Chain A
């Protein structure tokens, strides 16, 4: 492992306490006089966990993916890249299910991410100015998120039941079709999965947006107003640029969360109808931990990971800072 990386100064560390003391002493303030072992003693318990359950598995996963690794069989022969090749060979048994699940993850991500970026932003904008009861409303929007995926999925499977569910009942009252099979037919199942996910995590994203909105100096809006900018121009020229760092953060975590969707599909649609809403994570978990084809499942997880990292890198690229980095708030 190279120590060169260690020498690099992180941007977060740089902007701290810019003029607190004269140069030279800053480096030593509160940092001198400690045994060489001291920092490592502090780090040891965490690094033990981190090494055992993050670093080792990340490497072990590659090893597993290069073997025909069936958990239930004593022999786990080395097969090189065969597991990966099979994933890309249209004739193989894993090709159809894997890419079908990647397609399902793709559909869910493409449908849910824009909604999860735009709707919470709209809610946050409505909440950005103080009014009585604002904290109360913020808490209500956030509440579904604390319930967890199992509770919300079981709950919504009930609300979306075709015969006795609340959703179809109210649609009927509005004169709309009241017999939609929300969890057993597509495209209705996608509407259900995406809608429930938006309900579940809207508050989470809105809260992050709200914090970002409050960091935009009010003077910028006043200056824009003096220049004759209407609300829409203010949004485009003040709000969006001010939210840029937050936007890139929310885009990435929302993308990753959507691409990792599992519980909603497992509990609400059981991956159905057929395998249509069976996501990549669902497929990987089932292949590796239900059928114990771990070599193949590990290979799938790396293929998915490469996709996700490429998309994350692309998002970072789009949102990259062009102007010099602003001071980090503490």
Chain B
């Protein structure tokens, strides 16, 4: 966990001593909460490495005895009714394509909203932002019919394309573009470049951090989406991991070793993304609030 050393405080010398002890108290409290926060995730991983009987043993133990990959071997084996490996591949493909679509369409749409004057601009922007406040529930039933009409039911298209209409993405990218200095774009204009070339060669390279943040948030959102996939993907072989976990749970109600192994498989990519790119994710989230 974290160290308990303190940095010299910036306040007056009189306050420094008091500041140090209060910092220690602060870190102790926060550290205790942090341990409580992380332990369920640790226990999930621990259980996934247990044998079937060890996983339900009383009292529960924090150390698998023996350490076993049996649960993973069993859920990842080919030919089961709960094809976890296939779900993993489906989730990857869906989340990656969805994030790509979100980034492309949202950044393209955000650019004229940030930088061009045209009739209807504010109308379009207001409508897009207004839908941020519309509860997604009213879209579920009609979208089911639309997706069914398009022949996308029970296929990955159903979870890749409809959710790619990200109002948040447009809003987020527009805010970013508005904050960019305009001089580079003006210089490119004077050189005779057209708007699309400017967008591709001048604006997008500057927007890489925002694009990465948006891509990450879209990927996480799609990877973790639950309600929609549960209802539109009904065959085991097309499900994504969250929908699949639900199937796995109904099939193995108390096989906690298998359920935890499945949960670990569903968590590994997002936890890895989070560990390596947490700055982008957390800053993306915190900025969404400041802007809202």
Contact = CB atoms under 8 A, between A and B. Distances in A.
On whether the two chains bind one another, the answer is yes
Interface string A128-166: 011111001111111110111111001111110101111
A55 B143 CA distance: 10
Contact of B182 (A29, A55, A148, A297): A29
B71 interface: no
A31 B56 contact: no
A20 B29 CA distance: 47
Contacts of A301: 135, 137-138, 140-141
B69 interface: no
A20 B163 CA distance: 39
A54 B106 contact: no
Give the dominant DSSP class at A's interface. Answer: helix
Given A132-B6, A132-B7, A42 B112 contact: yes
Interface string A182-215: 0000000000000000010011100111111001
A155 B44 contact: yes
B205 interface: no
A147 B267 contact: yes
Given A34-B116, A289-B140, A281 B3 contact: no
A49 B165 contact: yes
B271 interface: yes
Given A7-B122, A148-B223, A155 B146 contact: no
A7 to B, nearest CB: 7
A198 to B, nearest CB: 11
Contact of A215 (B189, B225, B242, B290): B290
Contacts of B263: 151, 154-155
B60 A151 contact: no
Nearest to A307: B135
B242 A45 contact: no
A61 B141 contact: yes
Interface in B144-184: 144-146, 148, 161-165, 167, 170, 175, 178-179, 182
Contacts of A252: 133
Nearest to B265: A151
Contact of B178 (A207, A298, A330): A330
Candidate in B40, B243, B263 with the most chain A CB atoms within 10 angstroms: B40
A16 to B, nearest CB: 6
Interface in A31-71: 31-34, 36, 38-43, 45-47, 49-50, 52-58, 60-61, 64, 71
Nearest to B285: A207
A319 to B, nearest CB: 12
A288 interface: yes
Given A132-B3, A159-B40, A260-B137, A46 B108 contact: yes
B82 to A, nearest CB: 13
B220 to A, nearest CB: 6
Candidate in B1, B178, B226 with the most chain A CB atoms within 10 angstroms: B226
A27 B131 CA distance: 28
A139 B281 CA distance: 10
Interface in A285-311: 285, 288-290, 294, 297-298, 301-302, 304-305, 308-309
B227 interface: yes
A158 B108 CA distance: 45
A210 B38 CA distance: 20
Contacts of A309: 133
B206 interface: no
A46 B246 contact: no
Contacts of A262: 226-227
B152 to A, nearest CB: 11
Interface stretch (B72-80, B207-215, B254-262): B254-262
A141 B30 CA distance: 10
A51 B56 CA distance: 50
Given A53-B165, A139-B282, A158-B260, A3 B119 contact: yes
B165 A267 contact: no
A46 B220 contact: no
Given A64-B142, A149-B226, A42 B199 contact: yes
Given A150-B241, A154-B259, A158-B260, A246 B289 contact: yes
Interface string B49-71: 00000001111100000000000
Nearest to A65: B141
A289 to B, nearest CB: 4
A289 B141 contact: yes
Given A6-B122, A54-B167, A164 B226 contact: no
Nearest to A250: B289
Interface string B264-292: 00110011011100100110011111101
A53 B275 CA distance: 33
B185 A30 contact: yes
A171 to B, nearest CB: 12
A31 to B, nearest CB: 5
A254 to B, nearest CB: 11
Interface of A: 1-3, 5-10, 12-13, 16, 27, 29-34, 36, 38-43, 45-47, 49-50, 52-58, 60-61, 64, 71, 123, 126-127, 129-133, 136-144, 146-151, 154-159, 161, 163-166, 169, 199, 202-204, 207-212, 215, 245-246, 249-250, 252-253, 256, 259-260, 262-263, 266-267, 280-281, 284-285, 288-290, 294, 297-298, 301-302, 304-305, 308-309, 312, 329-330
23 contacts: A30-B189, A34-B116, A38-B116, A42-B196, A45-B104, A52-B146, A53-B161, A132-B2, A137-B34, A144-B40, A148-B220, A150-B246, A158-B44, A159-B40, A199-B40, A210-B286, A260-B136, A260-B137, A262-B226, A263-B227, A285-B140, A294-B145, A304-B135
